[in-house]
């Protein structure tokens, strides 16, 4: 009884310390976000090879009214302009913002985006709440999510058709071995074959592993953002959340070993690795996941654009809160552009 009481006290103290650390982190984060509102990023390296990936590869740009090509981009010095306007908190938002300044869409889409910007202009608290979630997607590996959308899937190997029969055979041998242990000897060659197939599949898994982990993290952030009534109101179609949730368990299973970080969990990894080899569990789930990616591709893209639109809108709201003069275009039904007193964003007056 006393041991149980001591254990409960230790758990309580641990939770109190954890909550205090969490509170301090969010306070520092909130202060950081507030102090940087309306200001461009400083001391940040812009890796355009990564930033431009979504724009370079997505088929969505084919639906755009117009695309800013490489020559015009260079003529306008758009990469330097991007450095000034990029106030995004996530790598997904950064990729989407770059895509957005390189594509021109019809007026109704621009109006809808402007409404979202206005929400953040009028409600800075909402912007900070969103940023505190979006910043969870600001690691370099978060650039990799777009690969699940745009890279297609690797060709499945010919040995895939043997995975389930070998798993069933392993199960039959184990059941038979319970009654006659001599049958366990037949498990040795099956285990060796499964081991070869398991580590062949690992090569395919490693190709996708980072993107798979980003899918799980991005879904978690998306769900948190949708808890905010103002965000949910602006995005009435959120069916992509439930569709991606259907494969969330598979993403967690495939990305499990990347979460292992200490000696105790390594023993757990060894046990689970043997289990996965005997029944080809990881290989079967992975190839099933690949099939799901093809089916859910559009939903993953919608989630990417959902996160990107929020982050980009906050970025624009932050620019408008700064000390630079900005303007809003007025659309007319004529093939005409009239510009009055234009200034370059990189030239201070």
- CATH code of the domain containing 266: 1.10.1420
Which band of pLDDT confidence, cut at 50, 70 and 90, is reported for residue 40? confident
Average pLDDT of the chain is 85
Q: Answer yes or no: do 148 and 13 share one domain.
A: no
Q: Is residue 328 part of a domain?
A: no
| Percent of the chain with pLDDT strictly greater than 70 | 91
Q: Is the pTM of this model over 0.85?
A: no
Same domain, 132 and 4: no
Among the listed ranges 230-234, 264-268, 273-277, 302-306, which one has the minimum average pLDDT value?
Answer: 264-268
Range of the domain at 15: 1-34
What pLDDT was estimated at residue 250? 78
Residue 92 near residue 311 (C-beta atoms within 8 A): yes
More confident call, 325 vs 88: 88
In three-state secondary structure terms, 41 is coil
Asked whether residue 265 is assigned to any structural domain, the reply reads: yes
Same structural domain for residues 5 and 127? no
Clarify whether residues 25 and 49 are in a common domain: no
The SS3 assignment for 36 reads: coil
Within this chain, do residues 54 and 130 fall inside the same structural domain, yes or no? yes
How high is the pLDDT of residue 219?
Answer: 93
Residue 340 lies in a domain: no
In a domain, 156, yes or no: yes
What's the confidence (pLDDT) of residue 296? 87
Upper half-sphere CA count for residue 18 (Cβ side, 13 Å): 6
Residue 246, pLDDT score:
86
pLDDT digit string (tens) for 273-313?
A: 888 888 888 888 888 888 888 888 899 999 999 999 999 99
Q: What is the pLDDT of residue 326?
A: 74
Residue 260 lies in a domain: yes
235 domain-assigned: yes
| DSSP sequence for 264-321 | HHHHHHHHHHHHHHHTTHHHHHHHHHHHHHHHHHHHHHHHHHHHHHHHHHHHHHHHHT
Instruction: Please tell me whether residues 17 and 87 are part of one structural domain.
Output: no
Instruction: Tell me whether residue 349 is in a domain.
Output: no
Q: Is the pLDDT of residue 233 over 90?
A: yes
pLDDT confidence band for 183 (50 / 70 / 90): confident
Judge contact between 225 and 231, C-beta under 8 A.
yes
Please report the pLDDT score of residue 347 as a whole number: 63
Q: Which of 5-14, 142-151, 312-321 has the lowest mean pLDDT?
A: 5-14
Among 11-25, 78-92, 256-270, 275-289, name the one with the lowest average pLDDT.
256-270
20/111 same-domain check: no
15 and 60 within one domain: no
Please tell me whether residues 58 and 138 are part of one structural domain: yes
Given this model, what pLDDT does residue 275 score? Answer: 85
Element (H, E) at 214: helix 187-225
Determine contact, residues 103/138, Cβ cutoff 8 Å: no
pLDDT of residue 266: 65
Span 111-142, pLDDT tens digits: 899 999 999 999 999 999 999 999 999 999 89
Is there a single domain that holds both residue 1 and residue 124? no
- Rounded CA separation 292/290 (Å): 5
* Averaged pLDDT, 134-162: 87
Residue 339 domain-assigned (yes or no): no
Same domain, 30 and 119: no
Number of domains into which the chain is organized: 2
Identify the band that residue 254 occupies on the pLDDT scale cut at 50, 70 and 90. Answer: confident
Give 187-217 pLDDT, tens digit per residue: 999 999 999 998 888 877 777 777 888 888 9
Local structure of 53: helix, strand or coil: helix
Q: Are 26 and 49 in a shared domain?
A: no
- The most confident of the ranges 85-99, 252-266, 320-334 is 85-99
pLDDT attached to residue 312:
96
- 161 vs 345, higher pLDDT: 161
Selection from 215, 221, 54 nearest residue 136 by Cα: 221
Residue 171 reports pLDDT greater than 70: yes
The percent of the chain in helix, strand and coil, each rounded to the nearest 5, is: 75, 0, 25
């Amino acid at each position: 009884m006393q041991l149980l009481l001591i254990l409960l006290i230790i758990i309580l103290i641990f939770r109190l310390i954890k909550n205090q650390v969490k509170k301090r982190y969010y306070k520092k984060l909130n202060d950081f976000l507030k102090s940087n509102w309306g200001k461009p990023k400083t001391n940040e390296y812009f890796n355009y090879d990564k930033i431009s990936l979504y724009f370079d590869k997505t088929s969505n740009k084919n639906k755009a009214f117009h695309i800013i090509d490489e020559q015009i981009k260079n003529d306008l010095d758009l990469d330097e302009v991007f450095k000034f306007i990029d106030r995004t908190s996530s790598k997904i938002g950064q990729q989407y913002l770059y895509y957005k300044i390189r594509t021109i869409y019809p007026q109704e889409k621009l109006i809808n985006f402007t409404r979202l910007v206005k929400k953040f202009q009028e409600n800075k608290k909402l912007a900070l709440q969103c940023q505190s979630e979006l910043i969870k997607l600001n690691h370099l590996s978060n650039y990799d999510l777009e690969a699940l959308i745009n890279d297609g899937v690797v060709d499945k190997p010919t040995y895939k058709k043997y995975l389930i029969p070998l798993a069933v055979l392993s199960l039959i041998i184990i059941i038979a071995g319970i009654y006659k242990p001599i049958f366990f000897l037949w498990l040795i060659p099956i285990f060796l074959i499964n081991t070869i197939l398991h580590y062949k599949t690992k090569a395919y898994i490693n190709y996708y592993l980072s993107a798979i982990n980003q899918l799980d993290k991005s879904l978690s952030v998306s769900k948190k953002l949708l808890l905010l009534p103002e965000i949910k109101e602006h995005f009435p179609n959120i069916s992509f959340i439930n569709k991606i949730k259907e494969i969330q368990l598979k993403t967690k299973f495939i990305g499990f070993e990347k979460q292992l970080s200490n000696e105790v969990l390594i023993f757990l990894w060894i046990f689970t690795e043997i289990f996965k080899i005997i029944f080809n569990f990881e290989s079967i789930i992975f190839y099933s996941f690949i099939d799901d990616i093809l089916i859910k591709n559009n939903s993953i893209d919608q989630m990417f654009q959902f996160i990107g639109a929020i982050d980009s809108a906050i970025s624009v709201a932050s620019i408008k809160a700064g000390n630079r003069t900005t303007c809003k275009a007025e659309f007319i039904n004529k093939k005409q552009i009239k510009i009055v007193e234009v200034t370059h964003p990189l030239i201070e007056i």
